[in-house]
Structure 1
């Protein structure tokens, strides 16, 4: 009997030893404590009297089995493999592979279609074409030159007289005249070059009113005449297409321009009572005036062409930066019948300009056949002036210019009267014409 008891004790001791040496690698074991706490941890090892656990934060803790109410063992955690190579995504099924390939094929087909479409547009937009434009119509030139110089001379003359004598030029209203234009345009792929010339004439009436007379009194004074204004323009432009397309085309453009404007008022008549002290009674005579101006410089802007079915619209905006000169010549030849007195007076002016402005051009083309198209267009030009330098000459017949009056007149012209009298020059034309186009690609 005693031997049997010893065997039982040995078996129990051996079982405890084996249990104590066994590490239970489980995952998320739940330990219910007698005091009500619930601990989720991994049991690292245990003996008959204690248990070592690993908490979720990685720390270890030893607890007595006498404090444990029960332990709930869950499914053992699969030990991590020594090989840390990440596991790849699951292998797709043949159906999934086929579906993905179909979607990729559709996306690629859309991209290929867009690429081919754009290539076709670029190919269709290629040009190798020469165009000739001829146009005629009407236009007006509102030239600031004639009235500007008349105003300056009138102010200077009024300041130099006494007893309230003065001159006042009425601003002329231009009337429409003839306009014509010629242009050559060559287009090669993305590049477009243009050279051309235009001419427009307009008429206006000169009216200068005031009072004049000898020192004993004042009497009405009138200068009246009509004159033509002609403006000629030559230019060259170069532009480059930033997005070639067969239906529309937008191109930045740079250019060079020259303008010549001229007026000749050869039939102006003057009536008055004299310019004291030369005349002491009424007089009459001629007062022809000639004004000329030349400007040249560069431009930058944008051109835009668009096609609507059979029509094509071409527009352009050009910003002007120019320099040039202006001249004025006024000659008074007067005669007083009562006293048989005569007078000849000459006023000359030369100055330099800086001008800034813009040109807006619009053409609507209708293709006919045999390379011929008909067009209608509107062109508007305008610019303002800044005076940079001047030279003034005023003198009577046989006496020449008075140096003192010259210095005062030049100072007055450049600093006060001249800048205050500056106005804007404008020219507007409406034309119709024909175009011949030769396509070298056909």
Structure 2
């Protein structure tokens, strides 16, 4: 009877223990042994007779239930709920607040000072002024005109002749001549408008040599003479200041330009030695020659003005996009006094051009007093050509009339394909001038 009671008690005890194990966290078990030991471990599994525990060092161990006095379970600790309210920055100390306010005040003062300074610069840069420039000096014009036509026609005439006859033209070396300019500039706040005109003259030497003569023979031929070259230029520019400042000014600029270039040679002479031994074909004559060109178009670029001490430096760079036409007229009037023979022929050409180039202008201005000042300047321009159309007309004493259709075909072949592209040269013009200027300020 007593043994039965003990079995009932053991069953009730282990039932209570299993119920407790299922209701708490497994890590919260404390095992009290009958020999007085206290073991804190995790109960991994158990049967009716033994308990398997996991010690803190990770090892496992079996304990007989007969050696266990009781098993206690610790209360599971409920974690404190996290406060989801955002935590703001710590409240700064009063000294830090004052220091921060002082720094912000200094920064704002610097910004205000810069703003006021820029406003003052813009105000001081405002203009309402009219300026007039007059200049004179020397210039050199290296005009491709006359020499280009001489070279193309020399090759063309050499191809069309027989018995070894030919012409060859030497490239002329220009010499400096006179230059002059006139310009009006009006400045109003950020806007600047300019109109002006300039001219430059130069001189060059025409030299052509070759072989010529009747059908039965040849002899040396020379054409020699000096001619003047003139270039005239009118323009208008408009520019806008992108960053107005009393000391310097940068302005994009657009403009319109027109150029007239011309050569006239009325003192060129021709001489042929004649055929030996009598030299009856020896002849003398004149070769009046003229070449002209008209180009016009637009430009774009930048202008930059800088004040240094009591001087002002003005520079401008303009990209030129031009188109126009050129003409050339050469006539030969020669007479052989021994044979009473004469020569008379002429060549006329017309070409359409497309030209691209640049113009650089640098000027140093010194304002004196009463609105009067003085200036020194350098102007340089150049452009290259492309032929867009051409025609040629030939007149000869032995032919009653020229053949327009044949001349047109020959002109196109010579100038557009055969010789012209390789004979094209640059046109350059450079002037150095000094002058006076008058300035009237409407704001004073």
Residue 122 of structure 1 aligns to a residue whose secondary structure is: helix
Q: Distance in 1 between matches of 2:321 and 2:145?
A: 19
Q: Does 1:406 align with 2:407?
A: yes
Cα contact 1:137–1:431 (8 A) shared by 2: yes
Q: Could you report, residue by residue, the CA deviation over 1:91-148 in whole angstroms, capped at 9, with x for unpaired residues? A: 1111111111111111111111111111111111111111111100000100000001
CA offset at residue 183 of structure 1?
0.6
For 2:45 and 2:400, locate their aligned partners in 1 and report how far apart those are by CA, in whole Å: 130
- The equivalent of 1:11 in structure 2 is none
Alignment CA distance shift 1:404-1:193 (3 Å): closer
In 2 relative to 1, CA 199–69 (structure 1 residues): closer, same or farther, beyond 3 Å?
A: closer
1:269 is matched with: 269
- Is 1:159 aligned with 2:195? no
Q: Rg bigger for which structure? A: 2
How far 1:215 sits from its partner (Å)? 3.0
Q: TM-score, normalised by structure 1?
A: 0.81
What are the Cα deviations for residues 3-24 of structure 1, in whole angstroms up to 9, with x where unaligned? xxxxxxxxxxxxxxxxx9xxx9
Distance across 2 between alignment mates of 1:43 and 1:181? 107
Are the aligned partners of 1:351 and 1:389 in contact in 2 as well (CA < 8 Å)? yes
Structure 2 Cα separation of the partners of residues 408 and 297 of structure 1: 29
Conserved in 2, the CA contact under 8 Å of 1:138 and 1:431?
yes
**What residue number does 2:430 align with?**
428
Q: Within 5 Å, which residues of 2 pair with 1:159-178?
A: 159-178=159-178
SS of the aligned residue for 1:178 comes to strand
Matched, 1:286 2:286: yes
Task: Tell me the TM-score normalised to structure 2 length.
Answer: 0.81
1:33 matched to which residue of 2?
Answer: none
Aligned residues: 394
Q: Is the 8 A contact 1:213 1:273 kept in 2?
A: no
SS of corresponding position for 1:368: strand
Q: CA deviation at 1:409?
A: 2.5
Gaps of 5+ in 2: 1-19, 33-38, 58-73
Deviation at 1:79, TM superposition (A): 3.4
Q: Secondary structure in 2 aligned to 1:400?
A: coil
1:141–1:428 contact (8 Å) kept in structure 2 = yes
Question: Which residue in the other structure is 1:364 paired with?
Answer: 364
Shift of 1:421: 1.1
Question: What SS is found at the alignment partner of 1:245?
Answer: coil
Bigger drift between 266-275 and 346-355 goes to 266-275
Task: Judge conservation of contact 2:206–2:227 (CA < 8 Å) in 1.
Answer: yes
Q: CA deviation at 1:342?
A: 2.1
Matches within 5 A, 1:190-201: 190-201=190-201
Aligned to 1:418: 420
Three-state SS of the structure 2 residue aligned to 1:176 is: strand
Offset at residue 191 of structure 1 (A): 1.0
Indicate the SS of the match to 2:175.
coil
